[in-house]
Each structure stands twice: as structure tokens, then as C-alpha cells.
Amino acid sequence: MEQPTWHGIELDAATALALLEWQAEMGVDEPVLDAPVDRFDLAAAPPPQIPLAPPAAPALALTGDDDLPARVAQAEALAAGAATLDALAAAQEAFDGIELKKGARNFCFADGNPGARVLILGEAPGDEEDRQGRPFVGRAGQLLDRMFDAIGLSRGAVDAEKALYITNVLTWRPPGNRDPQPDEIAMSLPFVRRHIDLAAPDVIVLMGNIACEAGLGRRGILRLRGNWVQAFGRPALPMTHPAYLLRNPPAKREAWADLLSLAARLEGAG
């Protein structure tokens, strides 16, 4: 297989993936060409001659999508029947509709003080989170702790005014730390909504693109960050994920501005 290149430079798989992630974070949502195309001229051109070939085999049906509505309905019923956070955790861990459960080590429900005014909604567990069964405990989680400690908030605080409650859209780790797929988000959303209803935070921090997709129905975190919105019926502040800040240290300046905005919001509502 030919090695991919970028501006004449050969790229390995990890570098190519990092460039793709950077483009997504910058808001690139469709491919474009280097030069404009005259579509009228293309229409006048003769159609290409396609050699005859035997009929192609029918595409394989994605059987997992066929029963997605039923699995989402099951998740909704389980979530609605949970009257406490402990009951919700037990119901979500027992839910077998999501295939990620089969490949993950541990169920990652939440961490911090469930009575906190601030709930942080992240994306999905990574490798270290999968090992420990707690969200945001790897390198990105350590940076998150330092960030919020700078405005006087901590997941270890007993006082709800100074505490954080942390969870993710997904509670099972996707293989290879890939992005959650739409069907996985759809099956997780009933539990996320119920989780937020039971925790009843004053504000939500939507940490990264997947959290924004779950809470707002759209991505583009670099356009959304820093702007207060409504998500899950509560005030919400989109922020860039700490993993992005580790890859792009200059973006910490905007993240600090978002933290100050959160602190001012809490003080004004306190």
C-alpha cells in the first residue's frame, strides 16, 4: 500500500490521524478541492465509458441497525425506572444492548460529588479510565483537575459549592479510543438524560465534540466553546476537551477564559 503524503511529506498512520483530528477540531466538516470546478463544463463533457461487469453482490445488511429503535426503547425504560443514581448505575451496567460492553474492562459511571453544582459531561472512557472504572483519570483527567482547581472546584470536595461531578456520554470504552458512533450515542442518551435529572446540577460543562453532539445535536467545539447554551434543560458551557489542550497547548488561553466565565456564572447564581 502506498504511504500517504501531506505536502510531499510521508505520513505514518498516527500522524495522519492526528492531522485529521486537528482538522475536525478546527471545524472542517466537508471536503473541498484546491481549485473551483465549473459544473456546467462538466455537464457538457461526454459521460465516461464504464465497462460492463457482472451484477454486484448485495450489500450486507447492518443487522445491528435493524433493532436500534428497540434497544433505545429498552434503554429509555431502564433509565426511567431508576429512582436513584445507584439504581441508574445498576440498570445501565446491566444493559446489554450496546456492543461496547463486551470489549471493555470496566463500567465507568461517574466520579466526584453527585450533589455538585457543576456537572462535567465528557465523551467516553480511555484506556486508564477503563482500567480504573472512573472517568477522567488519565493524562487528560489530570489536566482537567488542575484546570478546575484553578477556579476552586474539585471532584474531591465535600461542599457542593466547590465540588465537581463528572461523567461521560459513554460508560464503556470504545476500542482504540475511537469516537463513539451515532448508534452508541443514541443508546446512551436515555441514561445520560436521567443521570443529569437525578444529579440536578446548576450548570453543565459540555467537554468536547461528543458531549456537544449529545447535548446540542451538533459538533464544532471550536465554534461552540465559550458560548452559554441550554442542554438537557440546563445552562451549559461547551469547552475544548483536555485531550485537545494536551495536543494544542496554545488553546489553554481560551480554556482559561471559559473557566473564568464558569466561575462568574456560579458566583452570579450563588
Tell me, what CATH number does 89's domain have?
3.40.470.10
- Its domain, for residue 223, covers 68-269
Residue type, 121: L
pLDDT at 152 over 80: yes
User: Would you say residue 5 lies in a domain?
Assistant: no
Own/partner pairs, 96-104, CB within 8 angstroms, 24+ separation: 97/71, 97/187, 98/71, 98/172, 98/184, 98/187, 98/188, 99/64, 100/170, 100/172, 100/173, 100/174, 100/175, 100/184, 101/172, 103/172, 103/173, 103/175, 104/130, 104/172, 104/173
User: Would you say residue 187 lies in a domain?
Assistant: yes
User: Would you say residue 53 lies in a domain?
Assistant: no
User: Would you say residue 113 lies in a domain?
Assistant: yes
Q: Give CA–CA dist 82/77, Å, rounded.
A: 9
Indicate the DSSP class of residue 154.
Answer: B
The pLDDT assigned to 66 comes to 73
User: Would you say residue 17 lies in a domain?
Assistant: no
Number of independent structural domains in the chain: 1
Quote the pTM value. 0.76
Q: Give CA–CA dist 182/188, Å, rounded.
A: 10
Residue 49 pLDDT level (bands cut at 50, 70, 90): very low
User: Would you say residue 114 lies in a domain?
Assistant: yes
pLDDT at 154 over 90: yes
* Residue-averaged pLDDT of the chain: 86
pLDDT tens digits for range 158-177: 999 999 999 999 999 999 99
pLDDT tens digits for range 78-135: 999 999 999 999 999 999 999 999 999 999 999 999 999 999 999 999 999 999 999 9
At 124, list the grid cell: 467516553
Residue that wins the pLDDT comparison between 29 and 20: 20
User: Would you say residue 129 lies in a domain?
Assistant: yes
Q: Give CA–CA dist 168/125, Å, rounded.
A: 7
User: Would you say residue 11 lies in a domain?
Assistant: no
The pLDDT assigned to 64 comes to 47
